[in-house]
Structure 1
């Protein structure tokens, strides 16, 4: 518990520094959407900070850190490339419109940077706890890596397919229903959920790590009901062909498409 407490403090400090730096960049850029890049980087910062003070099984600690850094680094790179050259995200404009102009800076610090920082610390608890347990790697860790790998595949390939689809002017106003998007309307979000359930499985093998199950549950909730799939579907609802696509395609878990 002492090791975990130190690790949590170090991780919290890393997240605070990252979010403070992100806020400074956002002020200079004139848009808060740069914080989306720091979402993946925040988890990577927690993983590396926790690894620096880890007291548990060294192999598991390195494995957990590698899984998180690879996932977080890829996600940050993808979002940074996708958002380059674009203005403010409408989500943040709508959120900040709820506060008076003179209070928007404080409101942004609390509701965007502070909230995301807290979520990073909560969702990354399996990593922090798993790095301070001495249990050897076993079958559950192997299963966790497999689930994580499946999730990373769905997320990376889904993002690539969507980016390629959007880059073709001929697809403007159309709905992507090919590749992984033929099996699920949100392969990237499904993959994201699998990544964190896989990380939890690796940590759960230690016994005490199983108690952090709330972390992947929170991540899955936000991916399905929060700012992930639900918000995307609301935005896509009026697009021609989306209703038919939604009728034949699974909403989250990949399944064979229904017959037209």
Structure 2
């Protein structure tokens, strides 16, 4: 590959895949012990941390150090924050109804492939901008710093949105639907924030060839968040709650917009 040493690229993939596999195996063991597979939600962000660390290690002496450190730090901040948030949110609860419905009637092999194997493969695909960006030797320019700003927007949306939802759930006098703060402008500020995070990381990588070729990875993440397993599955479950369909009618489904009358 032009501008990317092929041996370092494949070494990074091998190390990243091994780290992801070990992390998923540990997650599966924990899931069997606690009798719920939604522990994978905690691991999801950590899978990207594994790829970022592998990319950082292998790219030493190959990629631009500023970009290498930046991609590592951005991914660790995002992934560890998400993992901690999911761990706190699921603490003391049983299996997520969405997982129970998804896995109903599946054998053990089907569960492993659907929950753990699929998410491992998706994480490796989505994380390709980390691999390519870490190995890019050209210095950072304007587009990369635009990517940092987009990433910051994403982190703010995720963090503020999650805190607002936590405060809503802790309020004994709350209404039937959370529709204030960022949740007034988008039904999924956390998903929108996730999308911004990965668009920002892509922009940092896409500045130099062949980084732009990783656009399918980012497109896959945005698609899953906006139209796929993220938003679609959650809203199918939430639509049965009183007032939620009215909330859907007046509030943007993804990109933040003023509420409709």
> What TM-score does the superposition give when structure 1 sets the normalisation length?
0.95
Which residue, 203, 217, 223 being the options, matches 2:219? 217
Which residue, 203, 206, 220 being the options, matches 1:204? 206
Q: Is the 8 A contact 2:186 2:252 kept in 1?
A: yes
Shift of 1:140: 0.5
Question: In structure 1, how many angstroms separate the alpha carbons of the residues matched to 2:189 and 2:100?
Answer: 27
Q: Is the 8 A contact 2:98 2:233 kept in 1?
A: no
Question: In structure 2, how many angstroms separate the alpha carbons of the residues matched to 1:92 and 1:36?
Answer: 11
Shift of 1:243: 2.5
Shift of 1:258: 2.2
Instruction: List gaps (5 residues or longer) in structure 1.
Output: none
Which residue, 233, 236, 258 being the options, matches 2:235? 233
Bigger mean CA deviation after superposition, 193-202 or 105-114: 105-114
> How many aligned positions are there?
254
Question: Using a 3 Å threshold, how does the CA distance of structure 1 residues 223 and 148 change in structure 2: closer, same or farther?
Answer: same
Question: In structure 2, how many angstroms separate the alpha carbons of the residues matched to 1:16 and 1:239?
Answer: 37
Question: In structure 2, how many angstroms separate the alpha carbons of the residues matched to 1:9 and 1:139?
Answer: 32
Question: Using a 3 Å threshold, how does the CA distance of structure 1 residues 236 and 94 change in structure 2: closer, same or farther?
Answer: closer
Aligned pairs for 1:137-152 (under 5 A) are: 137-152=140-155
Question: In structure 2, how many angstroms separate the alpha carbons of the residues matched to 1:164 and 1:201?
Answer: 33
Question: In structure 1, how many angstroms separate the alpha carbons of the residues matched to 2:251 and 2:80?
Answer: 30
Asked if 1:25 corresponds to 2:27, the answer is no
Shift of 1:91: 2.0
Q: Is the 8 A contact 1:135 1:205 kept in 2?
A: no
Shift of 1:150: 0.2
Aligned pairs for 1:81-230 (under 5 A) are: 81-99=88-106, 104-171=107-174, 174-230=176-232
Question: Using a 3 Å threshold, how does the CA distance of structure 1 residues 19 and 31 change in structure 2: closer, same or farther?
Answer: same
Bigger mean CA deviation after superposition, 221-230 or 134-143: 221-230
Q: Is the 8 A contact 1:134 1:206 kept in 2?
A: no
Q: For residues 21-77 of structure 1, what are the alpha-carbon distances to aligned partners after superposition, in whole Å with 9 as ceiling and x for unaligned? A: 111111111111111100001101110111011121111011011111100000000
Q: Is the 8 A contact 1:56 1:133 kept in 2?
A: yes
Q: RMSD across aligned C-alpha pairs, in angstroms?
A: 1.1
| Runs of 4 or more above 6 Å deviation | none
Question: In structure 1, how many angstroms separate the alpha carbons of the residues matched to 2:75 and 2:121?
Answer: 17
> What TM-score does the superposition give when structure 2 sets the normalisation length?
0.94
Instruction: List gaps (5 residues or longer) in structure 2.
Output: 1-5
